[in-house]
């Protein structure tokens, strides 16, 4: 039998063991060397199997070991992350990857969101997840005239809902969200920050939050580990316009 054939057998075997609970819901699986001896294959073959199970979301890597993550969480859409995790009885871990700061919006980001180059913004980059599993990177740019006063609070509280503070302080409301969603492979930096393998798919969501007058409250780019998120859409096909 070829190594590829052996790999598929080991993949099915480990997947079945995980789903049956042989290693517990969050237990550690045997090390690569042991699995290689048990199945009489090369360590590289076992490593490929473990990468595939990570991509499926039922295995996570931590401290050079592999642990069960079954069943994997499926987060619907893009809710307020900390509030959603609380509703599931989990503690949201959020950390500032870059300390919030006032910058000039980079040209490529201005072009991405179709806004004027050179605008001064408050920049924020955070990582969200559970204690063991990073799930997304959230990068925000806020107009400095709206968010500048919250800079210190953002630095001390990584869970601060800045858009909510802007709405309360200025009496603004979000009337429209423009969103683009792109599926792709992660960058090297993203694989390191999210602790995923280099061929695990991610979703890049780009959002512009606007008031009814067309004023931007925030620009957002979120990188989602695809396996942990579920996006749901419904379309009304009853009208004539929808059927054209």
In this prediction, residue 234 carries a pLDDT of 82
The percent of residues in the chain predicted with pLDDT above 70, rounded, is 97
Output the six-digit token pair for 211. 């008031």
Output the six-digit token pair for 48. 């490929």
Nearest alpha-carbon partner for 71 in 80, 60, 81: 60
Is the pLDDT reported for residue 243 higher than 70?
Answer: no
Helix 3-20 crosses helix 32-39 at what angle (to 10 degrees)? 120
Residue owning tokens 């609970």:
21
What is d(CA 120, CA 148) in angstroms, rounded to the nearest whole number? 10
What is d(CA 81, CA 228) in angstroms, rounded to the nearest whole number? 13
Strands 229-230 and 75-76 come out as parallel
Cross-strand bridge partners of residue 222: 138, 205
pLDDT in tens, 77-98: 766 787 888 888 888 899 999 9
Mean of pLDDT values over 93-112: 92
Task: Find the helix or strand (DSSP H, E) in which 139 lies.
Answer: strand 134-143
Instruction: Say which residues have a Cβ less than 8 Å from residue 85's Cβ, sequence separation at least 6.
Output: 91, 92, 130
Strands 202-210 and 120-129 come out as unpaired
In this prediction, residue 112 carries a pLDDT of 81
Output the six-digit token pair for 243. 């059927």
Mean pLDDT lowest among 2-6, 52-56, 73-77: 73-77
Is the pLDDT reported for residue 159 higher than 80?
Answer: yes
Query: Helix (H, G, I), strand (E, B), or coil: what is residue 25?
Result: coil
Output the six-digit token pair for 174. 């979000």
Output the six-digit token pair for 105. 């919006």
Q: How many residues does the chain have?
A: 244
∠ CA 37-43-45, nearest 5°, is 110
Nearest alpha-carbon partner for 196 in 222, 230, 228: 228
Output the six-digit token pair for 1. 């039998």
């Amino acid at each position: 039998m070829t190594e590829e054939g052996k790999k598929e057998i080991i993949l099915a075997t480990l997947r079945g063991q995980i789903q049956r609970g042989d290693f517990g819901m969050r237990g550690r699986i045997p090390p690569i060397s042991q699995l290689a001896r048990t199945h009489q294959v090369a360590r590289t073959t076992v490593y490929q199997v473990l990468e595939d199970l990570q991509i499926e979301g039922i295995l996570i890597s931590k401290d050079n070991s592999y642990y069960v993550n079954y069943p994997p969480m499926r987060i619907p859409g893009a809710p307020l992350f900390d509030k959603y995790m609380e509703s599931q009885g989990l503690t949201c871990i959020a950390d500032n990857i870059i300390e919030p700061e006032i910058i000039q919006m980079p040209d490529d980001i201005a072009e991405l969101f179709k806004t004027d180059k050179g605008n001064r913004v408050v920049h924020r980059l955070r990582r969200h997840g559970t204690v063991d599993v990073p799930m997304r990177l959230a990068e925000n740019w806020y107009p400095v005239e709206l968010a500048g006063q919250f800079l210190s609070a953002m630095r001390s509280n990584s869970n601060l809902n800045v858009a909510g503070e802007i709405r309360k302080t200025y009496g603004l409301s979000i009337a429209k969200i423009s969103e683009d969603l792109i599926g792709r492979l992660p960058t090297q930096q993203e694989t390191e920050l999210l602790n995923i393998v280099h061929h695990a798919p991610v979703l890049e969501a780009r959002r512009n939050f606007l008031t009814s007058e067309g004023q931007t409250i925030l620009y957002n780019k979120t990188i989602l580990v695809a396996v942990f998120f579920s996006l749901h859409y419904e379309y009304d096909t009853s009208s004539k316009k929808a059927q054209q």
